[in-house]
Amino acid sequence: MSNRPLYWFPLAIIALLAGLSMWLQYTIQSHKLGFLTSDTRIIDYMIEDFKVTRTNLAGQVIYTLNAKFAEHFLDNDTAQLTTPRLVAHDEQQGTVDIRSKQAFVTSKGKQVNFIDNVVLVRDLHDGQGPLVLTTDYLEAFPDQQLMRTSHPVQIRGNFLQIAAGGLELNNRTQTMQLSNRVKARYEPTH
């Protein structure tokens, strides 16, 4: 009886481990060199009934962001939200309530991009009543209380209707800058 098969078995195991190590090293280096396509999205967690609240140092709510469903992507630290709602609270400047079908949140939550059937309601709690803005895309910067879009917008209030090709709305300074083919209709009260 020959002992040769006993020697070949450990050598076959070592060869298999060496082959797996080379494959693993190639795979990791390929990813570092960018062989992954930009479409590759790695979801590291999902949340139903997502809600985030930001407060000031006194514990007062500055804004809340919630969604029916949220997916967080590990590869670029962004999130995709389904039926999102952002409500910014300010006793002096009024509230801003933004809703849409979908939104993308950038890393660290600095920017929220609302997409598809975007509705923004700005209520200054005054005699003019709320302004309702509709568009298909809106960028919101919650910490700066700034919203902007370069897409067509429709704005309705109690006494006015405005159509524009874009806008920038600063809730902190209570200013709205309209751009591109602005058409306005104002009906003063008697």
pLDDT at 38 over 70: no
pLDDT at 182 over 90: no
Average pLDDT over the chain reads 81
Which residues have CB under 8 Å from 71's CB, separation 6+? Answer: 43, 45, 46, 79, 80
- Residue 168: what residue type? E
Which residues have CB under 8 Å from 68's CB, separation 6+? Answer: 48, 49, 50, 82, 83
Assign 43 a pLDDT band (cuts: 50, 70, 90). Answer: confident
Yes or no: say if 105 and 96 are a contact pair by the CB < 8 Å rule. no
pLDDT at 4: 62
How far is residue 46's CA from residue 59's CA, in Å, rounded to a whole number?
28
**N-to-C CA span, the chain:** 113
Strand partners, 166: 179
Host H or E run for residue 24: helix 4-32
Is the pLDDT higher at 109 or at 188? 109
Assign 77 a pLDDT band (cuts: 50, 70, 90). Answer: confident
How far is residue 169's CA from residue 40's CA, in Å, rounded to a whole number?
34
pLDDT at 30: 58
CA 143 to each of CA 52, 108, 112: distance values in angstroms, whole numbers, following the listed order: 13, 11, 11
pLDDT at 7: 66
Assign 5 a pLDDT band (cuts: 50, 70, 90). Answer: low
